[in-house]
């Protein structure tokens, strides 16, 4: 797999690479992300894109970021669903949801999230990165499950947020839809650094360049060791969680 094989494959992801550092920018028609769950939307394309990135041996470090002032703050409203029924839709959602997290964690090199603003939908995605940087105006929340949509948080959020925040605070976060500011996320250890928005990407690339100067024989085994326990726990939890989420929709 080479960058030329997937650089123009996706409608919602843009790629740039220099000196082994791949920047992956999510967007909607070139602008801020309006989260889409169609077959050409972010929910499907991210998992596929992560798989392509993982197979490209020229990638030494990955920088994941969004567009404009938001990472993922809004849904795409009024988009047509291609599925003939709720059952068909959920079969697709579960398959894509599993691929999105599993393939993200399968990227065998360090990943840096440069969270460029509020992430209120699938907030577990950027915080799964090895290094998480956030713009000062960033907020984290889970608005698509219990608090916002009467939906079961079974798509990985049930493991990831309690692991990061601690069991009690994590349950509070998911059950109430509480918003976590960038500064509070820093205090709690969810993010590594909080920066002015105009300095965020530069700092991400500064760290990425330092890591990319290391030999691949060091980067890949280190990533494998650091992520091993989380991958195992996610595999144990994700299928059951997605099944519970699907049952609640019946």
Tell me which residues are annotated as active site.
Answer: 124
Burial readout 191-213 (b: 16 or more C-beta within 10 A, e: otherwise): bbebbebeebbeebbebbeebbe
Q: By CB neighbour count within 10 A (0-12 exposed, 13-18 middle, 19+ buried), where does 167 fall?
A: exposed
Q: What are phi and psi of 64, to 5 degrees?
A: -105, 130
Report strand pairing: 21-26 vs 61-65.
parallel
Question: What is the pairing mode between strands 74-75 and 34-35?
Answer: parallel
CA distance 203 to 96: 31
């Amino acid at each position: 797999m080479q960058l030329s094989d997937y650089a123009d494959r996706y409608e919602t992801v843009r790629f740039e690479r220099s000196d082994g550092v791949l920047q992956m920018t999510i967007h909607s028609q070139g602008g801020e992300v309006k989260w889409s769950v169609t077959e050409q939307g972010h929910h499907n394309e991210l998992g596929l894109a992560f798989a392509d990135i993982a197979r490209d041996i020229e990638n030494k470090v990955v920088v994941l970021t969004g567009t404009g002032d938001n990472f993922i703050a809004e849904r795409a409203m009024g988009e047509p669903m291609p599925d003939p029924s709720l059952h068909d839709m959920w079969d697709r959602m579960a398959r894509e949801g599993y691929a999105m997290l599993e393939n993200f964690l399968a990227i065998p090199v360090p990943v840096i999230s440069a969270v460029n603003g509020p992430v209120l939908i699938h907030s577990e995605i950027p915080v799964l990165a090895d290094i998480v940087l956030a713009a000062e105006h960033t907020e984290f929340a889970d608005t698509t499950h219990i608090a916002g949509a009467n939906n079961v948080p079974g798509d990985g959020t049930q493991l990831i947020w309690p692991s990061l925040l601690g069991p009690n605070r994590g349950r509070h976060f998911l059950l109430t839809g509480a918003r976590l500011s960038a500064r509070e996320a820093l205090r709690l250890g969810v993010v590594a650094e909080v920066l002015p928005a105009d300095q965020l990407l530069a700092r991400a690339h500064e760290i990425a360049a330092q890591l990319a100067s290391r030999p691949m024989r060091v980067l890949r085994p280190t990533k494998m060791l650091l992520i091993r326990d989380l991958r195992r726990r996610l595999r144990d939890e994700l299928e059951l969680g997605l099944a519970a989420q699907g049952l609640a929709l019946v």
